[in-house]
A and B are shown apart, each in its own frame.
Chain A
Amino acid sequence: MIRWKTDRFAGWGRTAPALARAARPERQAELDAAFAGAREFGATLPRGNGRSYGDAAQVTDGALVLGTRLDRFVSFDPATNLLVAEPGATFADLLAAFLPRGLAAPVSPGTMYATLGGALAADAHGKNHDRAGSFGAHVEWFDLLIANGETLRCSREQNADLFRATIGGMGLTGFVRRLALRLAPASPFVRVKESRVDDLDEFFEEFAASRDGANFTVGWVDALAKGAQLGRGIFETAEYAPDAAQRPPGLRAPKPIPFDLPGFALSAPIVRGFNELYWRRVPEAGRTGERALDRFLYPLDSLADWNRLYGKRGFHQFQAVVPDGPARDAVRDMLEKVAATGNASFLAVLKTLGGEGHGLLSFPMRGVTLALDIPNAAGADELLASLEAIARDAGGRIYLAKDSRQSAATFRATYPRLAEFEAVLAEFDPEKRLESDLSRRLGIRGGPA
């Protein structure tokens, strides 16, 4: 028997909780029952661990089918490194089971509590995008429960249109009931090279020097620095260190945020002071050290529920990618806007992306991506709108897994394969059973049914 509960569900940014019904099947047979039963409540949407920031995993007055308890591994073939798993398995599960065997997810988002199903739906990218591409590139196939209750095997050969629509499709094609992911060799430690970056030009020099060489690259940028210091930050490159000693020597555990910081204290002067200290943490000459893989990939996970730092009103996350050509100017414009308002946190990330994803709505393109937390306070909407305009005018786009505010017009203008995506939905979900608050806001298939 499937029991439904009514509750409020929000994204990680907690800006706009939506009232919805939710079922949480624990077995594959219960999934079919829940997915069918959802029909009587209106729009249906799969949801994982709620790690997307905006309104992608919620559907107001609809029915959510939660995948978190469909979290089992199905099989693993050591000859091919192909793992078959249910969608609710998380990157944390994967790390615990496979890192001791020298394997890890080939691509990992910034939190290990994201589910594999969620990473597929977002076509998530990681710190190794230049090298490895996004998550969907490593998915061999998946079984998709579609609107009419059938389950279809999708791969590059079989149901290839659904395959490409589901990768990055934000859950709008159906419920992925199991997926096959090819794991990649890894080791428990990485050797991280950190260097202080004085301004934006230096950041772009670092990108150019390392993007095709280093395995992992990521930059932290001081989003409140102005003038000559605009774009200063810390640039990190990292490689697996299979020769590392058991415990990483020297380097202290990374603390991107001071964990005892109270939520009400995230005001501009305090963040500015913090950023100054954080920047100076790395010596001027830079440094190299070994770090546990999980601490490198998921620095924020050492603080549970860090989204609560932003208080009840929550926060927006803005992430856009801009093609290489106009990237420097566009990023400069964005950082100037942010610094002028003072409405941004320390969690600002600048990094390069390597190329387009496999999905029709995949976010990445070859270029530079900037990600910022923006507290949901006065002026946030205006700031987001101006950042959106800069990204759009530079030929970039906004990441749907982070987005909470972009306009339907910007979305339609910046996702060139949207029409193909909508055509696949029209074929496999003619009744428009699957919807999310995001799909309604962005007018996917013309908005609400």
Chain B
Amino acid sequence: MIWVVIGASSTIAREFARQAAMQGAGILLAGRDRDDLAANAADIATRANVPVRVEHFDLADASEHSALLESAHSFANGAEINLFLAAGTMPAQAEIDADPGLAAGTIVTNYTGAVLLLQRFAPVFEAQKSGTVIALGSVAGDRGRLKNYVYGSAKAGLHAYLQGLRARLVRSGAHVVTLKPGFVDTAMTWGLPGLFLVASPAAIAKAALTAAAKKRDIVYAPFFWWGIMSIIKHIPERIFKKLNI
């Protein structure tokens, strides 16, 4: 089997690709930073004796999507194709509020681009009648909040889309995992104030592989975020709207 890893320069994707390769899967790394992807590819090839390919890819540019699909087919060479979607950006809400144009980019990378790509890949999974899509959602998508609502709304849209895609693909034996990480210790969160219960990227990657193996549908990582978000989701809106979170 192969994993097509989208947004492969992100720390979580780097860890995921490593761990999947150590389990014997071939890895196609797709992302924007060519040098970094080449370094990740060398790392994977050195760690694990698996085939690795690098594709320059921008999720926001839908015209590139079909080329990636073709590359995946040729790389897989008949083996099962699986997809790990980790692309996304998270500008601070204050920056977006100051520059409304940033909202468009946030929605494209976190929602529109993901939907267009998955629409294109869905027939692959239907045809092979197996395989897994893991897409990174976010606990931020569970409830719109003051500090993160454009990003959160894009992730909320993605969550709903993935539910529908899951229903579509289960009919042909393929599976969709919605992975919702809490705070993760990445370059994106390094030095940010107010974080707690921060998980390592390696732990998130491991949770993703476990969720795929056990065919879980919606997974919080680490698991206790399910409890935290259950509480947050149940705070009445008239109170929640005044909270500074």
Query: Interface residues, chain A, CB within 8 Å of chain B?
Result: 3-5, 23-24, 26-30, 69, 72-76, 83, 93, 96-97
Contacts and interface: CB of A to CB of B under 8 A. Distances in A.
Contacts of A5: 190-191
A72 B191 contact: no
B46 A83 contact: yes
A322 B232 CA distance: 61
B33 A27 contact: yes
A72 B11 contact: no
A72 B39 contact: yes
A97 B47 contact: yes
A27 B46 contact: no
Residues of B in contact with A, size category? 10 to 19
Given A3-B191, A26-B187, A72 B33 contact: no
B43 A96 contact: no
A97 B18 CA distance: 10
Given A28-B39, A29-B35, A76 B190 contact: no
A interface, over-half SS = mixed
Interface string B19-49: 0001000000000010110011011001110
B190 A74 contact: no
A3 B195 CA distance: 15
Contacts of A3: 187, 190-191
17 contacts: A3-B190, A23-B190, A24-B187, A26-B11, A69-B187, A72-B40, A72-B42, A72-B43, A73-B42, A74-B43, A74-B46, A75-B42, A76-B46, A93-B47, A96-B22, A97-B22, A97-B48
A69 B11 contact: yes
B42 A74 contact: yes
A75 B46 contact: yes
A30 B33 CA distance: 13
Contacts of A30: 187
Contact of B39 (A4, A27, A76, A96): A27
Contact of A73 (B11, B33, B43, B190): B43
Contacts of A27: 9, 33, 35-36, 39
Contacts, number: 45
A24 B40 CA distance: 17
A399 to B, nearest CB: 30
Given A69-B11, A74-B46, A83-B46, A24 B190 contact: yes
Nearest to B9: A27
A73 B47 contact: yes
Contacts of B22: 96-97
Nearest to A85: B46
A381 B216 CA distance: 55
B187 A73 contact: no
B173 to A, nearest CB: 32
A4 B191 contact: yes
Contacts of A93: 47
A240 B83 CA distance: 41
Most buried by A among B9, B33, B36: B36
A97 B11 contact: no
A73 B46 contact: yes
User: Which 3 residue pairs across A and B have the least CB separation, nearest first?
Assistant: A5-B191, A72-B43, A73-B46
Contacts of B46: 73-76, 83, 97
A97 B49 CA distance: 9
B39 A74 contact: yes
Given A74-B43, A83-B46, 8 more contacts: A3-B191, A26-B187, A27-B9, A27-B39, A72-B42, A93-B47, A96-B22, A97-B22
A69 B187 CA distance: 9
Nearest to B193: A5
A4 B193 CA distance: 12
Contacts of A83: 46
Most buried by B among A3, A27, A72, A93: A72
Contacts of A73: 42-43, 46-47
Contacts of B42: 72-75
A84 to B, nearest CB: 8
A29 B187 CA distance: 14
Contacts of B35: 27-29
B47 to A, nearest CB: 4
Interface string B161-203: 0000000000000000000000000010011000000000000
B188 to A, nearest CB: 9
Nearest to A6: B191
B174 to A, nearest CB: 30
B25 to A, nearest CB: 15
Contacts of A28: 35, 39
A83 B46 CA distance: 9
Nearest to A3: B191
A96 B191 CA distance: 30
Contacts of B40: 72
